[in-house]
């Protein structure tokens, strides 16, 4: 399994990165079971991400979009993808791209684009609603959503698992957890339990944002969540332009002693 950072900027696109979007790829059986292929899923598709994404893949090759919650910096480029599917003169062969997200996803996207609710974007997307802690299978991926603490009706951390062949032919389970947007909560730790890589937001800063509860993590709180979960690697993300990556890393190091880095648009990690 590989993770490519498309967008890692918090709350809105920054000068060096779009808003939240993460490309996850893995090899698995093709749909008819006659061979293998590369499967590609997106965790979030925030504003500015669709353009950068095309540096790394063709839009026609998206197997699914996984939406953590319905704030614009995590979902608004679904509007652009809708246009790409609907108006591409060469067609998408009738494919409805699966979009897994909160219950209001279809309604929210239709409203954002000024469409009638029926059909909205249902002719381009196959909308599926997350059910808390209920796994969803997409090719080689098993994705489980965990409710987290953020000021919106539904917000989820996503646990993505694959099974791969180990060096001696044994089956090895790999786990990538994405926090979405959240403050500290039990659901976040549950989602990240024993993760090989924990992609965790750290938008806030200790001493600066202490009066704001239930919105975002600081580097220190992200580090504590990674420690509590036993995560093997911590990758900080969703830093807005006013949060210093070095400061976030220093905070995280106070509570986490494992492998630590800050997400940068364009970098790929093997999990």
Do 8 and 237 contact (CB within 8 A), yes or no?
A: yes
| Domain CATH code at residue 36 | 3.60.15.10
- The count of domains in the chain is 1
Tens of pLDDT, residue by residue over 2-24, are 999 999 999 999 999 999 999 99
> What range does the domain containing 130 cover?
2-270
Q: Rounded mean pLDDT of 103-127? A: 97
Tens of pLDDT, residue by residue over 61-107, are 999 999 999 999 999 999 999 999 999 888 776 678 999 999 999 99
User: Taking the model in full, what pTM does it have?
Assistant: 0.96
């Amino acid at each position: 399994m590989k993770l490519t950072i498309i967008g890692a900027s918090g709350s809105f696109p920054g000068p060096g990165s779009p808003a939240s979007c993460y490309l996850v790829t893995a090899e698995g059986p093709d749909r008819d079971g006659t061979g293998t292929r590369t499967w590609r899923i997106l965790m979030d598709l925030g504003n500015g991400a669709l353009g950068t994404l095309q540096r790394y893949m063709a839009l026609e090759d998206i197997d699914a979009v996984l939406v953590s919650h319905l704030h614009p910096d995590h979902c608004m480029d679904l509007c652009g993808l809708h246009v790409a599917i609907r108006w591409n003169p060469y067609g998408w062969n009738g494919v409805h791209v699966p979009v897994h997200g909160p219950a209001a996803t279809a309604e929210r996207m239709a409203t954002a684009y000024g469409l009638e609710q029926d059909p909205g974007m249902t002719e381009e997307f196959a909308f599926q609603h997350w059910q808390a802690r209920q796994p969803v299978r997409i090719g080689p991926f098993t994705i489980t959503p965990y409710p987290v603490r953020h000021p919106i009706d539904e917000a989820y951390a996503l646990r993505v698992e694959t099974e791969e062949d180990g060096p001696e032919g044994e089956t090895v389970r790999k786990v990538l957890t994405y926090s979405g947007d959240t403050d500290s909560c039990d659901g976040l730790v549950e989602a990240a339990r024993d993760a090989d890589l924990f992609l965790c937001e750290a938008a806030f800063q200790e001493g600066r944002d202490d009066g704001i509860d239930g919105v975002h993590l600081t580097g220190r709180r992200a580090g504590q969540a990674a420690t509590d979960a036993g995560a093997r690697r911590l990758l900080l993300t969703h830093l807005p332009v006013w949060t210093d990556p070095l400061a976030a890393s220093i905070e995280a190091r106070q509570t986490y002693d494992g492998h630590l880095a800050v997400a940068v648009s364009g970098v790929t990690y093997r999990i």
